[in-house]
Amino acid sequence: MRYFLLLTTFLLFSFLSFSQVENFDLSKYKLPDIKRHQMDFFIYTNGRSNSTTTQRNEDTGEDAYESKSREIEGNADVSYKYYRNSELFQSTINSYIKLNGTLTDRFASWTDEELVTFFNPHLGFGYNVNMFNRKNKWFFKTAPAFNVSYLADNKLEGENEQKVNSFNIGGALKLGVGIGRIEQVHDFRHAVIIVKDLEERNVLARDITENEIVELATLISELKNKRFFDYRKRKEAELTAIHSFFTEKGLVSENSISYFTGLNDIWSYGGNSIRESGTQFLFAVTPRYSFEKDKNSISNNEVSKNSVTMQYNLSYVSKKPVSIKWQRDFAVVAGHDFTKMDKEIVGTSEENEQKYNTRIFANGALCFYPDTRTSFSLSISPEFGNFSSEKVIDKENYFFNFDLSTRAYYYISERFRVGYEIIYRHYALHIFNDDVPNLNRNYFYYRFSFSYAIF
């Protein structure tokens, strides 16, 4: 109860607290023209082995036995990400290549030796671009996506060999038209909390104007999207640029160790929370295609699946930074999917399936960021819909989902920190069908963490 009252008091105080920069409006910030490239390589390998032997037990007559096993696994991933923001374009690219392989060798004296090889490469590419009209906020969206994967699983046990091969390929092309624009504004918040920290350390020589805050936020956006290959050189250049901004504007009057350590801390950890601002309406049509082919050497079956989906969505998204510390997000999506799948088991049979799925989904979230070390979020997500394999709307198959989740990390002090995650989910099927008993499922998950440093 004591800590609950402490938490409540802290949240209330943080909401009501005031400084020179508390009332600056994040939603006024517009990102400058930026381009960001990021390529990552990730390679690792691991292995394990064990062996067990026993001697014959003369008293019981139990025979000696021996078992050995070893496993070697290797992974190699390459990913490329690109982000662009300008007056006319907002675009992202996400692409990756993943290679995974495993070799497992098992031997036991009471059975045949077993050798298993597993190889599973993946390739994926996604491009999402909004092209805006220069005179207003109407935009056209296109988002092609492509993925392909292959699985080769080979198992050799004595003279018996089993091979499983699976090939998957899929693609989608999202086309839409909408109005509105959502901007990333967390660099403005980052600028505000840097200035706020300098205020608290009493190193500001004068009050900063909102225009200067915008200049600082623009500088932060440009610095974060510059290309550097040496992390230490990058951080040195970033801090030097931020320090030059404050000195050239006459905002700092001293170069104390407190000033530099504070600037380094807020620069490193003050920009981790993503904040966005704006509203957007979008109508989109997305055709999808996927092909899957599986072959098993034991059953000698070869199964092929072709799937075509047409998806229609009408969405409204609102991102609102209520203040420097509070964020309110809301979204509602109405959509319909139609999927047709052809399945063929080579040499035996064919099957055709079709599915209809109509739904309306909403999500509301309230987030609280009192400082760089504390965060809280509460999210509610109801969904209502209908599914059928025979017609667009089937009165016997209405469903309702409801999700409630909350997460928090609270930095009470350097010695005491708490955090939690709680998720409740309710699912109800056949809600308007008196002929079939309603199906209700409930899911509850929680995680609490406490960290206390004794000394």
The encoded tokens of residue 305 equal 């699946």
Single-letter code of the amino acid located at 182: I
pLDDT surpassing 80 at residue 15 = no
pLDDT surpassing 80 at residue 58 = no
Single-letter code of the amino acid located at 62: E
In sequence order, what are the residues at sequence separation of 6 or more whose Cβ sits closer than 8 angstroms to the Cβ of residue 265? 197, 372
Per residue in 130-143, pLDDT (tens digit) is: 999 987 789 999 99
Give the mean pLDDT of 249-261. 82
In sequence order, what are the residues at sequence separation of 6 or more whose Cβ sits closer than 8 angstroms to the Cβ of residue 205? 250, 251, 252, 253
Per residue in 276-287, pLDDT (tens digit) is: 999 999 999 999
Give the mean pLDDT of 139-151. 95
Q: How far apart are CA 113 and CA 68, in angstroms?
A: 10
Give the mean pLDDT of 350-377. 90
Element of type H or E holding 128 = strand 122-132
Tell me the domain boundaries of the chain: 36-54+69-176, 186-269, 336-455
- Cross-strand partners of 325: none
3-state secondary structure of 8: helix
Q: How far apart are CA 44 and CA 120, in angstroms?
A: 15
Q: Are 318 and 281 in contact (CB under 8 A)?
A: no
DSSP state of 394: -
Whole-number pLDDT of residue 400: 94
pTM of the entire predicted model: 0.80
Percent of the residues in the chain that have a pLDDT greater than 90, as a whole number: 44
Single-letter code of the amino acid located at 107: F
Whole-angstrom CA distances from 438 to 172, 357, 361, 382, 397 are: 35, 19, 21, 18, 10
